[in-house]
Structure 1
Amino acid sequence: MIEVDNKEFLVFFEKDIVKNFYVCDNIANAGRDGYGIKNIKFFTDDGRPSDSYVSLCENVWSELTVSFFTTDFNLLEDAFREVLKTFKNYSVVRFGVNALDFFNMDEFKQYFNITASYETEYGVFASLSSDTIPQISYPSQIEIKIQDKLKNSAYAEFSDKKWDGLASQIKYGNDNDLLFLLFEGEQLCGYLFANNTYKNIYDISNVFVSKKKRGNGYGRYLTVFFADYCYKNGFIPHYGTAVSSYSEKVALSSGFEEISRTHYASVEVKHN
């Protein structure tokens, strides 16, 4: 197992930047002030970029996520040994895999126990073409507005509790972030917050609709409006992780496609 230079791997991943957006984003921004990822390392069998690799990603809370995108047993074995060397340095160690059968392998069981596991119920969604974004008619009673320069806006003072963390998203966001606001007359009913941290891709960090206005398709209206705005202005819209069944339905009905699904387990070292 040999570490790959991050710049080389970034060039490799950028060949399909939409599907690899999150890993490109992490490579480009790891260690930056305000970014949750402290560092990320990639390993292959020969030290060259490849689709068969293992990544070790440390966040600012001293948690390590090890992602296995390989069936090479020698690479897996080396990765396990590498994790064992530094395991005690982290508050939590998680393994991320594409298939749950990974945790039934003898090679895994030789070194680790699962302490807590959860299956990612919903995947990551992206827009692979502007042609998949539906053309829809918006109800006459709603209007969607776009707000930039968020840190100096009134929305930076909104209640996090009432508006699902909106003020915090603005506080820790970037100058290029965009806020899409859905109104009925003068009443704010919901919003979509999108981050721009890497190249020309806007990634949805949150879609929120107030409780009394749910069930009207407002999340979908916001998402389609966002995607259409991005394509018309030279950006690529990225839906990201759908965190609920409703979110998954919104993604699919708005023209986004599932591109990945990962299963995670928190692990501990096995003491024989």
Structure 2
Amino acid sequence: MSDVATTKADIAIVGRRPPSRSFWNNVGRRIVRDRVTMICAAIILAIVLAALFAPYVAPADPYRTSMARRLLPVGAPGHLLGTDELGRDILSRLIYGARLSLVMGMAPVVIATLVGGLLGVVAGYAGGFKNMVIMRVIDIFYAFPSVLLAVAIAGVLGAGVGNTIFSLVLVFVPSLARVAESITIQIRNQDYVEAALATGASDWSVVRHHIIPNVTGPIISYASSLISVSIVLASGLSFLGLGITPPEPEWGLMLNALRQAIYVAPMNAVIPGLMIFVTSMCFNLMSEGLRAAMDVKQ
């Protein structure tokens, strides 16, 4: 899983007491001053709002076909972004498709963050045999590239939203668990944690007051960078026929359907891929802005 490998920047916030409220306030102020991050956030917000209010924003029914209007060019009357191979309005399908694309981009990351974070904290804090068992199982997943692992799991389980999300969760859990475990080990060896244990504090109290607050920041920073990867992987599975099934509108599925018309209507075929690129890039830049804002050295 080299393409979702962790870096030192993902575990920068360690070795001190839990971040205070003023720390998070400073992070918020740095993010607001970052123009690139705010522009990307505005684009993502616009996409999310369009997806939420799709019935009111979409100019046409995304499922309505018309063979007489198939592959109309971009800018055709009544079809701003043209039509697809079945005469369906591309703009409407992009807007409705944002729902599934965003869900399959964010849901696997959220679930994997909770599962991987829990496994990493338990392994890092418990140490010994428990750490060995958990992390050796996690290491098994590192033997496979993330794309190959996602395709293999989705191929076994079959197409569908639930199976796609499950396959992506299994792809992201190992890297998130590794980040959480690395940070937890560093915090576990700090003097203030040892002092808390020496005074009779329970393991749960130490984890709740010292481990989790310190782990949360770096985990969120790293997990946010996986959203763009998740969107691309989910679209890739749909492109291969292992994700969303027709006639549901989804960007990867639209890209697969329109690829056959690339020589007839090249602009129509490019648009879904452009949406995948812009959305994943915005999430990636937002993640980088969040990481920079949380970097104490800066």
TM-score band w.r.t. shorter chain: under 0.3
Q: Which protein is richer in helix relative to its size?
A: 2
Higher relative contact order by CA 8 Å / sep ≥ 6: 1 or 2?
2
Larger Cα-atom Rg: 2
Q: Which protein is richer in strand relative to its size?
A: 1
**TM-score by structure 1 length?**
0.24
